[in-house]
A and B are shown apart, each in its own frame.
Chain A
Amino acid sequence: MTVKTRNRQAGAGAYAEIEAAANLAREQIGADQVLQWTLEGRCFTASSPLETASPDGQTDHDPENQDHMLLSDTGGAKLIVPISTRINLNTSAGSAEGEVVMLLGLPTNMAVAKRIASGTTMTILNNRSDGYGTQTAQALYTVTEADIDFTEIATWHFRSNAASNTYNAFKNNSVVVNHLKKGAPIILYQGASLSVNIFTGTASKVRVSFTWAELDASTYLP
């Protein structure tokens, strides 16, 4: 194997057999996989819409109500790979203890209409900002659902006055879960979902941003 040194970037045609790039010290230059997915227009980010208040949290652990949900299409053409989830505690009240939980949901009924009774669409942008590519996943907040079995995959416990009634630093109220680099990746397929909920019994709220990649199932699955 030989590599080809470079001091500038030069594009090659698609499907051409070429030598891999190296720098002038002959060190091979690796391409980041997620950056490559982004260049191909496969990565998306969802958030609450501009000037929209955070949705109300929950008073109990009833899984029929979900604060924020990333939901894969039931069709199965795409694998949804969550890359990161940002969770920010932005409203809290009272002094009760509370929890933020992240849930993996698997459908027990493949009919979307039966699983999601109601929900509000989050804003979704392609991370390649010329808008190349459209997503198949849905991102929703204030969701009412049915026919989903949930498994808790992460929990954060706090006193619910943490954001409002005590002195606190900006970074203390925020969590970033990097699904690919901290723990095993999750693949959402055929109607599976990822949810984030807050439970306090009072009026605590979180803001959430989901970032994910959509990969062709026919390319990645055997």
Chain B
Amino acid sequence: MVVKTRILPAGAGADVSVAPAANLARELISADQVLQWTLEGRCYTGSLEPETGGVSGQTTLSDEAHDYMLTSDRGGLKLVVPITTTISLYTDDGATDKGAVSLNLIRPHNDTATLRTISGTAAHIINNRSDAYGMQTASMVYTVTSSALLQASEWCEIGYWHARTETIEATEHGFSDHTITVNHLKEGAPIILQRGASISVTAHSATAAITTIVVFTWAELDASAYLP
């Protein structure tokens, strides 16, 4: 194998055969996979519009009401790969009540005549390559209602955080105590959303008064390039 040393990155044309880059010590230089997706304009971040307050939670966890939802397109051309989910408790319910935040994977059976409906307010989505190269196919909405799932086996809880819900305002806590960042690629097995599958975040407490702010970051890959 022959490698080519470099002291500065020198761009090559696309789809040409070249010797891989090495540093002056002849060590192969690897490219980070997610950074490469970002350079190709395949990574997106969705969140609330600036100056929007937190989204209210629910009284119970159910398959029909969610605070935030990221959903892949039903067409199946793209694989939606969640990279991070950041959940921040914005306001508590002011009572000595217990509550929880759930992060869920939803896989609807889309081979039925009745497709799952999803309604909510569209989130603000940007391409992580800031010249807006590429457009997303996934949708992110908040304050979500959706039709009931057909089977219990279409829903799986992949994260769950429990606390007393007056904690953000009634006590002194550190800057980061109420923010959770899930790195889907590094903490566990990645999730691949395809053909209408979703991840959702829902806060739930007896009064439903706690609010959260959630940021999803994801990549969209060509199904034809990755799946056999």
Using CB atoms and an 8 Å cutoff, list the residues of chain A in contact with chain B.
1-11, 14, 19-20, 22-32, 34-35, 37-39, 43, 45-51, 83-84, 86, 88-91, 123-131, 163-164, 166-174, 176, 178, 181, 207, 209, 211-213
Contact = CB atoms under 8 A, between A and B. Distances in A.
21 contacts: A1-B3, A3-B19, A4-B15, A6-B15, A7-B14, A9-B225, A14-B228, A25-B31, A34-B190, A43-B190, A45-B158, A46-B156, A47-B156, A47-B158, A83-B188, A86-B160, A88-B100, A124-B153, A130-B76, A169-B167, A212-B189
Interface of B: 1-4, 6, 9-21, 28-33, 36, 39-40, 60-63, 72, 76, 79, 81, 87, 89, 98, 100-101, 105, 107, 149, 152-164, 166-167, 170-171, 173-174, 177-180, 185-195, 197, 221-222, 224-228
Contacts of A212: 189
| B21, B160, B171, B188: residue with the most chain A Cβ atoms closer than 10 Å | B188
A5 B31 contact: no
Given A5-B15, A123-B152, A129-B194, A84 B187 contact: yes
A45 B156 contact: yes
Nearest to B170: A167
B91 to A, nearest CB: 13
B162 A170 contact: yes
B161 A5 contact: no
Contacts of B12: 5, 24-26
A90 B100 contact: yes
A100 to B, nearest CB: 13
Please name the 3 residue pairs, one residue from A and one from B, whose CB atoms are nearest each other, closest first: A129-B197, A84-B188, A1-B1
Given A127-B191, A128-B192, A170-B180, A86 B159 contact: yes
Contact of A29 (B10, B36, B188, B228): B36
Contacts of A163: 98, 162-164
Given A45-B189, A211-B158, 13 more contacts: A5-B14, A22-B18, A84-B189, A127-B105, A129-B195, A163-B163, A163-B164, A164-B164, A167-B171, A169-B174, A173-B161, A173-B162, A209-B158
